[in-house]
Amino acid sequence: MESAQTKSLPDNAYEPLKPGETYRPMVPASAHVPQATARSVGWGLLFCVLFTIASVYSGLKVGQVMEAAIPISILAIGMARLYSRQSNILENVIITGIGGASAAIVAGAIFTLPALYSLKLNPHPLQTIFICLSGGYLGMLFLIPLRRYFVRDMHGQFPYPEATAITEVLVTGEKGGAQARLLVEATAISAVYDFLVTTFQVWKETLDFQFLAPMQALAERAKVVARFDAIAFILGLGYVMGLRSSMILCAGGVLANFVFVPLVWFVGRHFPEAAVYPAVKPIALMSAGEIFRNYVRYIGVGAIATAGIIGIIKSLRIVLDSLSIAVKAFQQGDKKAGLERTDQDISIMSILAGVVLATLATAVFFGTLETTWLVAFVGLGLALLFSFFFTSVAANAIATTARNPVSGMTMLTIIVSSVVLLKFGLSGTTGMFFVMAIAGMVCTALSVSGQAITDLKTGYWLGSTPAVQERVKFLGIIAAAVAAGLTIVILAQGGYFFGDAPAGTPEKMVLAAPQASIMKALVEGFMNRQPVVYILFGAGASIAVALEMLQVPALVFALGMYLPLELNTPALAGGIINHYINERAGRHKGEAGRSMRERGVVIASGLMAGGALGGVLGAALSMFPRIKLWADTHPTPFYGTESTSQTVSFLFFAGLCAYLWFRSVRRDSKAS
């Protein structure tokens, strides 16, 4: 007999299952509770549109997309208490899932579409919306067959940092009590901390320790720069990831920044006047950061792509098994096939029909771009191929590190698509539009698939019906695609410039759009027949193969190579704390050890939730020029003094680490 609904997650929620053991979610499969109700869908769509509009502006301004799902999960808990029948936890999952589509669509849109305006290609508003819509639908449709593998079959094998944070927020809000107070406390501390450090010039966010003479000498003479982003969000993220994953992630950063960057500089310094492609500046004149961006990051892109392909090959059998189960469910009906409510996806025929319709619509779209039908079909094939293969990469990356290598995979898409389409005679402005349209679709597909796997894992832990989550996700994609596309059009037609602007343009009318500026430079270069950096991609591919031979998770390591070092190092701090708290909890049997582990996860989730809220608030305030100007022109007296400012930042971050440790183990002596 299946247990009744509880207000806590099962003990094996985050642990690998033992032989013969099954996972029973918080809301059992036999329970039929409201999920996609008018209130949950309505609030989800409203939050989706609001966060999309805000995220487009802030993302174009500073290059960072607002974290949406975690703040929306907190809002969902608050909204639940406004009704006579309080919304249940599965309705809150629906609100979070629909609203969370905003961040995914926005990332796909702002990383690529502004380049169309920078290139003076002036897309029609319907074209911008369609690119987002097509990519979002393809990403979701290609992910659904992978759901059973990533969510159920690999239970306990991936840490799912963001899904863990959302789940803990929803569960803790549902049961209230001491855990809820602890979550609110950690969220409030993190929100204030990250808001101050990222919005106002109170103390330095990023530490490079170059106020110390030895560190400065290393940076100048060997281009070795250690960087550390001292914010609460990444500390909580690293805790949920755990020690092994955070160490592998950081190891990739160590190889990239402490080995490859100095090696490139060592060779390049002997050619002080020659620029080596793809850079336009001599290596001898570059900083460590410039060497990383112009050369080493391409090695990371090659490693990520190869690791993704290896992952697809390794999981192919399980994915095919999942597809056969889905076909059986369609032929015999879910009940006859023996699928529980919590393991039912949209039918395989519905997925196939959706893929066919999306493919036909995309083919028609490419056919309207003043090219031959042969070129249109080649472009269609590239869009489908990259979207399909990179969906697995995105899901794996999000499940492991909560970091989606969207920009790296989009860069690879632009490079390969440009090389292929040039062979078919496509170039000039038509070629640039064509390639950027493919890149926009693939980028959006990657973003949506990564965000959707987070929602589906949250639903799996709590007891949602996957098919319900998948259906309403398409509504969120539509709402976010329309809102994101129209917002970009309004900004462009309202006189804003994306990236480079003519001399004399008021600063308030310039939106940096850093990722789109990189994509623009890439597509311009390749449409002008510049060479491809095969050697760098090949080096990354070789590293990924070597790691697989050593049985080390290649994708996590590759992500560490690709991401800036300052995002990896604080995650390692969280992973170390997680290790010692779990080690200490292991010495206490029963409720004492369990409580200690739970408190650590709740606090880490609060740090992630608060960091996301602080980031959203900071991004919202940046939309008001006067507030932003005041924040930029009123630093603290010690802000400009590197030694003092970085020391203060280090001490505050150490205080966060101490808070995470002591609040997690506080009841240790009482319970033992």
The answer, yes or no, to whether residue 670 has pLDDT greater than 70, is no
Distance from C-alpha of 653 to C-alpha of 646, rounded to nearest angstrom: 10
Residue range 51-91, pLDDT digits in tens: 888 778 767 765 566 677 877 887 788 777 777 777 788 99
Structure tokens belonging to residue 453: 């796997």
- pLDDT, position 315: 62
**Confidence band for 335, pLDDT divided at 50, 70 and 90:** very low
- The confidence score (pLDDT) of residue 457 equals 94
Residues 6+ apart with CB under 8 A from 623: 54, 57, 58
Q: What is the per-residue pLDDT for 179?
A: 67
Q: What is the mean pLDDT of the chain?
A: 83
Residue 32 has pLDDT above 90, yes or no: no
Q: Which segment of 30-34, 124-128, 467-471, 624-628 scores lowest on mean pLDDT?
A: 624-628
Give residue-wise pLDDT tens across range 263-281: 999 998 888 887 887 787 8
> Residue 667: its pLDDT value, please?
60
Rounded Cα distance, 445 and 409, in Å? 11
Quickly list H helices, 463-553.
Answer: 466-493, 514-527, 534-549
Amino acid at 514: P
Task: Provide DSSP, 277-331.
Answer: TT-SS-GGG--HHHHIIIIIHHHHHHHHHHHHHHHHHHHHHHHHHHHHHHHHHHH
Least confident range of 39-48, 292-301, 335-344: 335-344
Supply the pTM of this predicted model.
0.76
Instruction: Give 508-514 contacts, CB < 8 A, sequence gap 24+.
Output: 508/625, 511/57, 511/60, 511/61, 511/114, 512/60, 512/61, 512/62, 512/63, 513/60, 513/63, 513/110, 513/114, 513/115, 513/118, 514/63
Secondary structure (3-state) at 440: helix
Bridge-based pairing of strands 510-511 and 497-498 is parallel
Range 205-227 average pLDDT: 89
CB atoms within 10 A of CB 384: 21
Distance (Å, whole) CA 596 – CA 663: 9
Residue 612: name the closest of 243, 207, 161, 180 by CA: 161
Q: At what angle do helices 297-332 and 534-549 cross, to 10 degrees?
A: 60
pLDDT band of 672, cuts 50, 70, 90: very low
Task: Give me the mean pLDDT over the 179-185 stretch.
Answer: 77
* Bigger pLDDT: 669 vs 102: 102
Q: Which of these ranges, 8-17, 54-63, 131-140, 372-381, has the smallest mean pLDDT?
A: 54-63
Question: Is the Cβ–Cβ distance between 555 and 397 less than 8 Å?
Answer: yes
pLDDT value at 199 more than 80: no
